[in-house]
Chains A and B, each alone.
Chain A
C-alpha cells in the first residue's frame, strides 16, 4: 500500500506545495489509483521544498524540489511502475543526499513534524500521542510532574531560558480558586518560524504539553495566544482542539479523572511586544498590549489577576517527550546547564536554510557549515545573528562556541527563541543593526521613555552612518544610549533592543569607524557610501553599461573607454552587474 505526503507547512505552501498536492490528487484520480494523498508538516528542509514523501511497500522516498510538471513522471514511473525517480529523490534506504543536514540533528520537538498528518489526531496517537498526559494524570502527583520537569533541566525556549519546572512551581504555590495556562505562540522575531512549524506540523504535542502543565499547577483553563499572521497554525490548532474535545481529552473529567481543562485560542493582532508576558496578558484581557512592572509575576498575579503559567510553544512541545522518556534521557543531551535540544530557524546567507533541531552543546560552526551547508555562493562566513531583535551577533571567529544559554549570553547575544541568521562578507553590520533596531523601534509599545525615544535616536544615528553623515562621537553616543536603554526599560523588549547595535560595535567597531571616518561601507552594502567607477584598463567599450544606466551617467563611444559621471550616478549598481569584464569597480 502506497501513501503520498506533501509537505504543506507554510514553507511548502510558499514553494508551491498546494499545486503539487492538487496535481497528485488529479493524477491519481485520472489513473484510477487508490492511493491516499496526505498533508504533512515541515520537515525542516525548507531550502528543498516542495518536499514529497512517497511511502511504498518497501520504504519511504523523499522527493525534493517537486513542481507540478514533475508529478506525472513520479506517478507513472514510481507509483505505477515501481521505478523510483532517483534523480529527484534525496533520501530513501539507499540514497541520502542530505545526510549532512540531518546527521547532527536530534528531533524531540519536531519528532512528528513531516511525519504525521497534523490534521489527524489518530496519527498523533499512533505515535504515542496523549500517553504522557495520561501517565501524569494516573501515575504522578502534580509535585512529581514538576519534579520530573525540573530534573530534566528544561529551560524556557522562548528566549528567557528560565527553568520551566521552577516556573511551574511558582505558579503551583499560590492558593487560588482559578489558575490559567497560557501558551505564547506570538512568535515575532524576523526570520524565526520554529513555533509556526511546530504548530503547523504537530499541534497536538503542544496541547498535550499544556495539559500536563495545567495538571501540574492546578489550572483548568488555558489560552493559546497565537499570531493572526499564522492562519494555518490557527486552523490546525482549532482543528486539534476540536478533535480533543470530541475525544474527551479536553473538557470535564479528562480521561475519566477529576481533571478539567479547556483551551481557548486568542489571535494576537501582530504587536511584537505582546510576546512579553505581561503585555500578552493585557492583550488577552482586551487591554492595550503594554507591559507592566514585575513583580508581581504572572505566576502570582497573571491573567485576570490569577496565578498564570506562561510558556512558549517549543517548551510545551518538549514536555510529553520528557514524561514518556524520562528526565534523565532529556538531561543526557546538552551541556551542564542547557539540556535537551533547540530548534533553530536557519536563514540568511546560508546554503541550506530551514529548520534544524540540534542537541544543546553543538557548535555554531557545526550548525552553519555542516547542517546549513556553509555560506551560499562561496562567500566568507562573517557572523551569526542570534535571538532576533533582542539578540546580537557572534563573529565567525567564535564559531566554536557551544550552543548553551549562558555561553551565548556571554557574547552579548542571546539564545532567544531560535532565530539564527547567517551573515557573510557582503553583510554590513551597521545596516544589520539598523534593520533590527528599526524593527524594535516600530514594535516598542511606546510606554517607557528610553525604549520609545532612545531607540529612535539610536536608529537616527545609524541612519546617519549609513548615509555617510556620521560624525565623531556617534559610536560613543550609541554605546551610551544603548547602555541606558538596557538599564532603564520596563520589559525585555527595551532591555534588549540595543543588543544588535552593541554587539556589532563590540565585534565590528572598525566597520562603524569606516562609515564615520572614511564614509565607506566595507561590505559595500550601504548604497549612499558606494562609488562606482569604470577602470579604463579593463573597459572594452562594449557600451553595455551605458545602455543599462537608467540616468545616463555613463558616456562613451563604442570600443572606447567609457566615463561615469559621479554627479549623475544614483548608485543602482546596474552597470556593475552588467559589465562582463569586471571593468566597473565598486568601492
Chain B
C-alpha cells in the first residue's frame, strides 16, 4: 500500500517526502544542509548519542537529534543557527575533553616547523628514503644542515623517552638527507607569477622563505650583508659540526631548484638600501630576516678596551674565511651553544687549555647536552656556578685573567630556571690569555634606523603578527631571529615557511590570510603520560652516532659526527612507538573539531585512561579515543550478529569493550574489520603490518575484491606507492554496491599478502643439471618457452600441449589464454586445474537453461521471502552474503533454510537447519518435488513442459517417510521445509555452493534447477538461483571459454554457426580444433607433454603430481615461487590483480571493471605476457592495449556483447549480463540429465537484470 507523502518545512523550504524517514534523511536527501553526525551510520538503526546532529523543531523547547527523530507532517525544522552551532560545538568539546589521544606525534607538534617526523621514520623503516626526504623537504628545505645542528625539540617531546630514550630522530633525518647529498631530488615547481620578493638576510629563515616562494613561482632576490649566505649556520656553527661545503651545497640547491633565486651579497640594509628603495625597485613585498648578530655585553669594566677579549659570535664569524690563532688558556663565559662552539673552536685554534665559566649548573646550560658532553670529552673544563666579576689586566691593557665569584642556586617559581646568587667571600682568580664573551646575542638595529614605520619590541626585535608575520608596514614581513631574538635554526626555518605562505597569499590576494591553528588532541594536555601506559613496549636501546675519536678531532676541523650507518638507520625506526593516530585524515571527530573551531580548555578535567589493546592480529582497540557512539557495537550486533563488542560501566566510565571484557580475540570476533570501518575516530583501527604513517594523506582507489565470487567493492587506501590497506568503499559509495561497504576478513585484511617481500620479480629458467632455476630476461624466458613448445608440437602434435588458467585471472587474461591455445597452438586443451579437481556439477544446468550460472542477483536476497542455502558455510566463505540474508531477515522476516550436513556458524541463526546426510540432497529435493506435484503446487506454465510426466514418475518413489529416513532428518524439519517451500507466490532465492567438495554430490544442482523450474522461481524476477564459487572469476573462466567444453559465450561443440563466427574472428578453422576433450584423462595418461600453467599451483597437493607424469616441458606463471613453479622449466613472474586493469564476472553475472592500484612490480601485466608468448605462434596477437582485448571480447562473446549493450553502462558501472539462449538449437544428443532430459527443448529465457 502506497503511503501518502508528507510535507515538512526545512529552513523555510517546503519539502515533500515519504513518511517514516528521519529529519536527517530528509535534509540530506534534499541536499538542504550537511548536518554533522558522529554516531550515525545509515546502514544501522538510528541511535542518537553524539548529539552533533541536533536541529530545532518549531514548538519544541529542546533541540532534537535529527538522526533518530522521524520527520512528521507539518514539522517546521531549522538546521542551522547560533543555538544549534553552539550546542554542536559544546558536544564536540565535551567529547574531546575525554579523548585521551594524540592526533599527531608529539615530535611533530613540538617541532617549530612541524616536520612530520613520525612519517619519515615510518618511510625510512620501509626503506623509502627518497619519499622520506620529500616529506621532510615539504616542511624544511635544509635537512642536511638541520640534521647536524638542530636542537631537536622533536626528541624532547618523544614519548619513547618514557620507556628508555627518545628516538634518534634528527640523525635519521640527516641520514636520508645525506643519501641525497648530490641533491638529485627535485620538488614540483609552479609556473612563474611575475611577482618579485626581496628577502633581506640569507640565513636559514631567508633561505627557507626564498625556497617556498620560488616553488610557488615568485621571483626572489636575497640581500645579504656578509659575503656568504647561510647566516648563523655559516657564521655561527663551526666546521667540525657543520662542514661549510655541506651547507654551501644545500644553499646552492635551494638557489637553483625553482625559478632561480638571485643573490646580492655584501649589501647592508640601512646602508645600501631600505624598504622604500626595494619597493621602488619593483619588489612587491619584503621579508626581513636579518638575524640577531650583536653580541651581548658581559657588563665587566674594560671589556671593550682590553686586549685579549673577544666576542663569541665575532670569533666564530671569522671561521669561513680563515682560522684565527690562539694560545695559552682561553676562558669562555656563557652556557649556550655559542659558548660551547667557541670553546671547542678555541681548542682547535691552538689553545692549550680551554675553560668555560657558567653561573648556573650543567643542568641549566642552554647548550645541547650532547655538545656539552663532546666538549668535556675533548678536555674542556667547565666551571659551573661561577660568575666573572672583574677583569685583571696588565699595564698594557693586555688581559691577564679574571676574578670570579662562586654562586649558589635559589629555588625559583615552577617553570623558571633557578636563580643564581653570589656566595659572599668566595671570590677567586682565573689566569687566562683570552676571554671570549658568549652570553648571548641581540638584533643589531643598524638596519632599521631609516625605517620610521617599522615598529620594534623592547629588546630591539621586529614586531610581527603571530599568524602572518606581517610587520607594522603592510606587505612587509619579518621573521627568524630578527623577530624571535637569538633562537634556534629550526624556529627560523619555521618562520621562513610561515612567511612564505603568508606572502604567497598576500601576492595573490593582497591580504596575508590568517589561519586558525587546527585542533589537535594530545595526551600530555590531559595528564602526564605514565610509564605504565607504555609498559607493553619493550626497552630497545638508542643507536649511538659514530664519531671521530677525540684524539683525532681536537687538532682539526673535520666533522665529528660521522652519520648513522645503514644498519643503524634500519634499526632506529623500529623504536618508534607511533604516537600519532593512523586515522588523522579520516577521523570525523578531528575534522568536525576544526569545522567548529573547538576549544576544550573550559572542560579539561578527569579523563579515561586505558591501555591500548594490540593483542588482536588485525584490530587495535584504543578505548581512550572512543566516543561511545556505539557504531561498532551496533554493527557487530545488528549487522553481523556476532556481539563481540559491548558497553561496560555506566556514566562517565561507560566505554566499549570486548564482550565480558576479554581480549577481543577471545570473543566471538570474526575479524571482519567492519567495526574498524564504521568507527568515526581512531578507537578501532587496523593493526598494520607496517609503521603508522599518521599524517601522510591516503589516496582512495576503488577495486573489486579478488578473493571469492561475491565481487565486493573495496577501497584500497594507498599510503604510498605499494603501501596500502583496504577499507570499505568511501562514504557515499556505500549504497552503490551490493556489499554496502561491508567486508569479510579476507576482503578486509587478506590483500596484505600482496605487500609480501617474497614476490617473483624476474623470469626464471631451468638451465639444466642441478642448478635449479636461474634468473633470466623476459625475452630469453619467452623464447625458450616458444622453442620448447614448438619442439613438442613438432614431435607429438598440438594435442600434446595444454594450457591451464586460473579462476582468479581477469576476463581479458582468460580470453587471451584460451585464444592462445586454440588459435595460437591449435589445440582445445584449455582448462583449469580448479575445474579438473572440483568441476563436478559445473555443467549441471546446461540441459535446463543452456548454461550453468546464477539466475538471481545478490540484491534479490534483500526482497526474498525464503532463502535456501545448500552446502554453504557462508560465515567462512561468503560472509557478505550471510550479512545480506541477515539484513533481509531483520527487514522483512525473510526465512532462512540451511541445508548442510554439519554444523556451521549460520546454523545457529537459520530458521531451519536441515542436517541431511552427505550425498542425500538430491533425494531431499526430489522428495520436495514429489510433494509439490502431488499437491498440484507446480507452476502452471511449466506443467506442460516436456519431461514433466517423466519427472513426476521418477520422483514418485520419494515419499516423505523415505526422504526422512534416507536423509536422516526429523519429520518435523522436513514438514517445516515443505510448508515453507509450498507457500504460493513467494520469492525464493536458492544459494548453491558449487565449490564445496565435501558436501555436494552429483545431480544436486540439477535437482535444485528442476525444483526452481517447477516452482516457477527460475522465470520469476527477483528470485532464482545464485551459484557461489570459490574464486573471483570462477564465473568468468567459463564465460571466457577456458574449458574444453565451451568457446567464449558458452558456445558448445554443436553450435556450428557460432563456432564459425568465432573462428572467422580469430582467423582460425575452429571446427577442427574445438571438439570434446577429457583433459583430466589426457593428463593422467601422460599424453600432455608441454604444460603451460597460469596462476595455479596444483602441486601444493602432492597427489597432483600424477597429472604431470608425461610433461616434458612445464611453464608456470605465478606471483610467487610456488610448489609448481619449483618444478617448472620456465617461470614467468606474474603481476598481481592490483597491478593491472581488467574485468571480473561475479557469481551473479555482474561484470565489474577494476583499475590497477599500482604499477606491476614484475614489470609486465599478465595479458601482455600471454600476448607476447602467443605472438610467437600467431602474428595476430598484436593488441595495442587492454581495451583492444576487451573490445574483441564484446565482439566474440555473445553475452558480453549483450546484444550490443555491453557489460557496462554509460557511466562505466557494471551491468548484469543478459543472456538469452535459443535452446531450440541445442543438441538433443546432450548427456541426459537425471529428471530433465528433455527440458532443454523448452525455451527458458533466463534473464538477469
Q: Decide whether A and B assemble into one complex.
A: yes
Query: Which residues in A have their C-beta under 8 angstroms from that of B98?
Result: 453, 456
Of A441, A444, A449, which contacts B94 at CB under 8 A? Answer: A449
A577–chain B nearest beta-carbon distance, Å? 34
- How many angstroms from the CA of A292 to the CA of B47 in the assembled complex? 7
In chain B, positions 40-73 with a C-beta closer than 8 Å to chain A are: 46, 48-52, 54, 61-63, 65, 68-70
- Give chain A's interface residues, CB within 8 Å of chain B: 271, 273, 288, 290, 292-293, 295, 441-450, 452-457, 460, 477, 480-481, 484, 486-490, 495
Of B49, B61, B630, which contacts A490 at CB under 8 A? Answer: B49
Query: Which residues in B have their C-beta under 8 angstroms from that of A443?
Result: 650-651
With contacts A450-B94, A454-B94, A487-B62 taken as known, whether A445 is within 8 angstroms of B46 at the C-beta atoms is no
Interchain CB contact under 8 A, B48 and A446 = no
Interchain CB contact under 8 A, B602 and A453 = no
Interchain CB contact under 8 A, A457 and B91 = no
Task: Tell whether B605 is near chain A: CB-to-CB under 8 Å.
Answer: yes
**Hey, what's the 0/1 contact readout for B894-921 against A, CB within 8 Å counting as 1?**
0000000000000000000000000000
Interchain CB contact under 8 A, B650 and A271 = yes
A467–chain B nearest beta-carbon distance, Å? 13
- How many angstroms from the CA of A153 to the CA of B65 in the assembled complex? 33
- How many angstroms from the CA of A457 to the CA of B630 in the assembled complex? 22
Q: Which 8 A-B pairs have the closest CB atoms?
A: A446-B654, A453-B94, A460-B605, A293-B68, A444-B651, A456-B652, A488-B51, A447-B49
Inter-chain pairs besides A441-B651, A441-B652, A488-B87, 17 sampled, C-beta below 8 Å: A293-B65, A293-B69, A443-B651, A444-B650, A445-B654, A446-B650, A446-B655, A449-B49, A449-B50, A452-B652, A452-B654, A453-B652, A455-B651, A460-B605, A484-B87, A487-B62, A490-B65
Of B70, B91, B653, which contacts A446 at CB under 8 A? Answer: B653
- Give chain B's interface residues, CB within 8 Å of chain A: 46, 48-52, 54, 61-63, 65, 68-70, 86-87, 90-91, 94-95, 97-98, 602-603, 605-606, 627-628, 630, 646-647, 649-655
Interchain CB contact under 8 A, A460 and B606 = yes
Interchain CB contact under 8 A, B647 and A288 = yes
- How many angstroms from the CA of A446 to the CA of B650 in the assembled complex? 5
- How many angstroms from the CA of A444 to the CA of B654 in the assembled complex? 9
- How many angstroms from the CA of A128 to the CA of B602 in the assembled complex? 61
Query: Which residues in A have their C-beta under 8 angstroms from that of B628?
Result: 446-447, 449, 452
Most buried by B among A290, A444, A487, A490: A487
Interchain CB contact under 8 A, B651 and A450 = no
A277–chain B nearest beta-carbon distance, Å? 16
Of A442, A447, A457, A487, which contacts B63 at CB under 8 A? Answer: A487
List the A residue with the shortest CB-CB distance to B647: A288
Most buried by B among A443, A444, A454, A480: A454
Query: Which residues in A have their C-beta under 8 angstroms from that of B63?
Result: 487-488
29 A-B Cβ contacts within 8 A?
A273-B650, A288-B646, A288-B647, A290-B647, A293-B46, A293-B68, A441-B651, A442-B650, A445-B651, A446-B647, A446-B649, A446-B650, A446-B655, A447-B49, A449-B49, A449-B50, A450-B51, A453-B98, A453-B603, A453-B652, A456-B606, A460-B605, A477-B602, A484-B90, A486-B62, A488-B54, A488-B62, A488-B87, A488-B91
Query: Which residues in B have their C-beta under 8 angstroms from that of A481?
Result: 90
Query: Which residues in B have their C-beta under 8 angstroms from that of A295?
Result: 70
Query: Which residues in A have their C-beta under 8 angstroms from that of B650?
Result: 271, 273, 442-446
- How many angstroms from the CA of A446 to the CA of B94 in the assembled complex? 13
Query: Which residues in A have their C-beta under 8 angstroms from that of B61?
Result: 487
- How many angstroms from the CA of A453 to the CA of B95 in the assembled complex? 7
A98–chain B nearest beta-carbon distance, Å? 42
Interchain CB contact under 8 A, A487 and B87 = yes
- How many angstroms from the CA of A490 to the CA of B67 in the assembled complex? 12
Query: Which residues in B have their C-beta under 8 angstroms from that of A273?
Result: 650
- How many angstroms from the CA of A450 to the CA of B655 in the assembled complex? 15
B663–chain A nearest beta-carbon distance, Å? 21
A449–chain B nearest beta-carbon distance, Å? 5
Query: Which residues in A have their C-beta under 8 angstroms from that of B46?
Result: 293
- How many angstroms from the CA of A366 to the CA of B54 in the assembled complex? 44
Of A442, A477, A486, A489, which contacts B651 at CB under 8 A? Answer: A442
List the A residue with the shortest CB-CB distance to B99: A453
List the A residue with the shortest CB-CB distance to B602: A477
- How many angstroms from the CA of A490 to the CA of B64 in the assembled complex? 8
B487–chain A nearest beta-carbon distance, Å? 34
B384–chain A nearest beta-carbon distance, Å? 36
With contacts A487-B62, A487-B87 taken as known, whether A449 is within 8 angstroms of B95 at the C-beta atoms is yes
List the A residue with the shortest CB-CB distance to B91: A449
Of A446, A450, A457, A490, which contacts B97 at CB under 8 A? Answer: A457
- How many angstroms from the CA of A452 to the CA of B90 in the assembled complex? 13
Query: Which residues in B have their C-beta under 8 angstroms from that of A448?
Result: 48-49, 51
Query: Which residues in A have their C-beta under 8 angstroms from that of B95?
Result: 449, 453
Query: Which residues in A have their C-beta under 8 angstroms from that of B86?
Result: 484
- How many angstroms from the CA of A334 to the CA of B94 in the assembled complex? 44
- How many angstroms from the CA of A271 to the CA of B649 in the assembled complex? 11
- How many angstroms from the CA of A488 to the CA of B655 in the assembled complex? 20
- How many angstroms from the CA of A481 to the CA of B650 in the assembled complex? 20
List the B residue with the shortest CB-CB distance to A295: B70
Query: Which residues in B have their C-beta under 8 angstroms from that of A452?
Result: 628, 651-652, 654
- How many angstroms from the CA of A153 to the CA of B63 in the assembled complex? 30
- How many angstroms from the CA of A297 to the CA of B602 in the assembled complex? 37
A278–chain B nearest beta-carbon distance, Å? 11
Interchain CB contact under 8 A, A495 and B62 = yes
- How many angstroms from the CA of A483 to the CA of B52 in the assembled complex? 16
Query: Which residues in B have their C-beta under 8 angstroms from that of A484?
Result: 86-87, 90
- How many angstroms from the CA of A249 to the CA of B418 in the assembled complex? 86
Most buried by A among B86, B87, B97, B650: B650
- How many angstroms from the CA of A81 to the CA of B87 in the assembled complex? 75
A229–chain B nearest beta-carbon distance, Å? 16
A285–chain B nearest beta-carbon distance, Å? 14
- How many angstroms from the CA of A293 to the CA of B54 in the assembled complex? 13
With contacts A293-B65, A487-B87, A488-B91 taken as known, whether A446 is within 8 angstroms of B652 at the C-beta atoms is yes
Query: Which residues in B have their C-beta under 8 angstroms from that of A290?
Result: 647
Interchain CB contact under 8 A, A450 and B652 = no
Interchain CB contact under 8 A, B654 and A449 = no
- How many angstroms from the CA of A460 to the CA of B62 in the assembled complex? 25
Interchain CB contact under 8 A, B651 and A456 = yes
B261–chain A nearest beta-carbon distance, Å? 51
Query: Which residues in A have their C-beta under 8 angstroms from that of B65?
Result: 293, 488, 490
- How many angstroms from the CA of A488 to the CA of B95 in the assembled complex? 14
Query: Which residues in A have their C-beta under 8 angstroms from that of B91?
Result: 449-450, 488
A232–chain B nearest beta-carbon distance, Å? 26
Query: Which residues in A have their C-beta under 8 angstroms from that of B54?
Result: 487-488
- How many angstroms from the CA of A290 to the CA of B627 in the assembled complex? 16
List the B residue with the shortest CB-CB distance to A474: B602
- How many angstroms from the CA of A441 to the CA of B50 in the assembled complex? 17
List the B residue with the shortest CB-CB distance to A293: B68
Query: Which residues in B have their C-beta under 8 angstroms from that of A445?
Result: 650-651, 654
- How many angstroms from the CA of A93 to the CA of B331 in the assembled complex? 109
- How many angstroms from the CA of A310 to the CA of B62 in the assembled complex? 24
- How many angstroms from the CA of A449 to the CA of B87 in the assembled complex? 11
Most buried by A among B50, B87, B603: B603
Interchain CB contact under 8 A, A293 and B48 = yes
- How many angstroms from the CA of A363 to the CA of B431 in the assembled complex? 95
Query: Which residues in B have their C-beta under 8 angstroms from that of A444?
Result: 650-652, 654
Of B69, B97, B630, B647, which contacts A453 at CB under 8 A? Answer: B97
Of B50, B603, B649, which contacts A457 at CB under 8 A? Answer: B603
B52–chain A nearest beta-carbon distance, Å? 8
List the A residue with the shortest CB-CB distance to B651: A444
- How many angstroms from the CA of A456 to the CA of B46 in the assembled complex? 25
B629–chain A nearest beta-carbon distance, Å? 9
List the A residue with the shortest CB-CB distance to B39: A449
- How many angstroms from the CA of A441 to the CA of B52 in the assembled complex? 21
- How many angstroms from the CA of A328 to the CA of B125 in the assembled complex? 85
A70–chain B nearest beta-carbon distance, Å? 45
Query: Which residues in B have their C-beta under 8 angstroms from that of A293?
Result: 46, 48, 65, 68-69
B765–chain A nearest beta-carbon distance, Å? 65
